[in-house]
Amino acid sequence: MGIAVACRRVVHIYRVEGSDVVALSGVDLSITSGEMVALVGPSGSGKSTLISLLAGLMRPAAGRIAVGGYDIGKLSDAELNRLRGTEIGVVLQGVGRNLLPYATLSRNIWLAQRRAAKTRGIELAEADEILDLVGLTGLAKAKPADLTMGQQQRAALAVGIAAGPGLLLVDEPTSQLDTAGRDEVLAALKAVNAKRDTTVVIVTHDPEVGAQLGRVVTIRDGRVGAEGRDGQDFAVVAGDGTVQLPPEVLGEFPPGTLFLVDHDEDGSVRLQSEQQ
């Protein structure tokens, strides 16, 4: 079963050369069980930081992150390691960070399953079954160097889902692929979601990836700036009541611009600047 995710007022701060850098400044985000979501936004906006926090690779400076029934900020390191080995699958950016180059795909998958096999005590899927799911039928004995770039990325996905996680977190899975490779990876992700009901969260710079997933969350300046659903873009009201305006609007109305807020009885809201 898929795992739901909820972020409430999440803040994360990096310490860089004696100064504090705010990577996330109050993220509010809810993802339902079995949903597929793309996190998009410019470099440095906080996308990869957010996915690392969801994976428990880092802890938030403030706020709360709930993954299923777990409060990520309150778990010990051992509990976080167990969670990543059983219920959260993580595919890092760069194939080499996910696959052992000297091991066959079957061996890579088995190594990823060991913790879950010990802690859950359940029978896990065979390597051939997992490879079939991501479109790598018959390649159990192949090593990463024997594969194309697109196949290597799908092999990384196979390792990410080896333990049967309810949540799969994937960082830039198509960044180094051509169009054909990208579509193969997307097809594999959709198959995992459809056949296992796995919740999938992807960080991407590719707008086509977001368009194919259906739900796109834009991270801008460390916050959720906008959300796209079924081709429509929406502004998002944050937990503190703020709303980030689209960049094209901000280009016309600089910071400090005053707006009159007109709330009609029919539920519509209009913003009128003092310049008009």
Contact assessment for residue 21 and residue 14, using Cβ atoms and an 8 Å cutoff: yes
Residue 93: pLDDT over 90: no
Determine the average pLDDT of the residues in 130-156: 94
246-266: pLDDT as tens digits: 666 767 777 778 878 887 777
Which pLDDT band holds residue 240 (cuts at 50, 70, 90)?
Answer: confident
What pLDDT is stored for residue 51 in this prediction? 93
Lowest-confidence region among 128-132, 152-156, 213-217: 213-217
8-39: pLDDT as tens digits: 999 999 887 778 888 898 899 999 999 999 99
Give the tokens for residue 16: 């860089």
Residue 207's DSSP bridge partners are none
At residue 169, what are phi and psi to the nearest 5 degrees?
A: -110, 125
73-83: pLDDT as tens digits: 999 999 998 89
Determine the average pLDDT of the residues in 164-186: 90
pTM (two decimals): 0.87
d(CA 203, CA 201): 7
In the chain, the percentage of residues whose pLDDT exceeds 90 is 47
Residue 36's DSSP bridge partners are 200
Give the tokens for residue 128: 């051939």
What pLDDT is stored for residue 121 in this prediction? 60
Q: Which residue has the higher pLDDT, 221 or 51?
A: 51
Length of the chain: 276
Contact assessment for residue 164 and residue 124, using Cβ atoms and an 8 Å cutoff: yes
d(CA 190, CA 209): 11
Which pLDDT band holds residue 276 (cuts at 50, 70, 90)?
Answer: low
Q: Which residues contact 208 (CB under 8 A, 6 or more apart)?
A: 182
At residue 200, what are phi and psi to the nearest 5 degrees?
A: -120, 125
Neighbours of 67 (CB within 10 A): 25
Q: Which residue has the higher pLDDT, 164 or 242?
A: 164
What pLDDT is stored for residue 102 in this prediction? 93
Domains of the chain listed by start with CATH number: 33-59+76-244 (3.40.50.300)
What pLDDT is stored for residue 120 in this prediction? 62
The rounded Cα 226 to chain-centroid distance in angstroms is 16
Contact assessment for residue 41 and residue 222, using Cβ atoms and an 8 Å cutoff: no
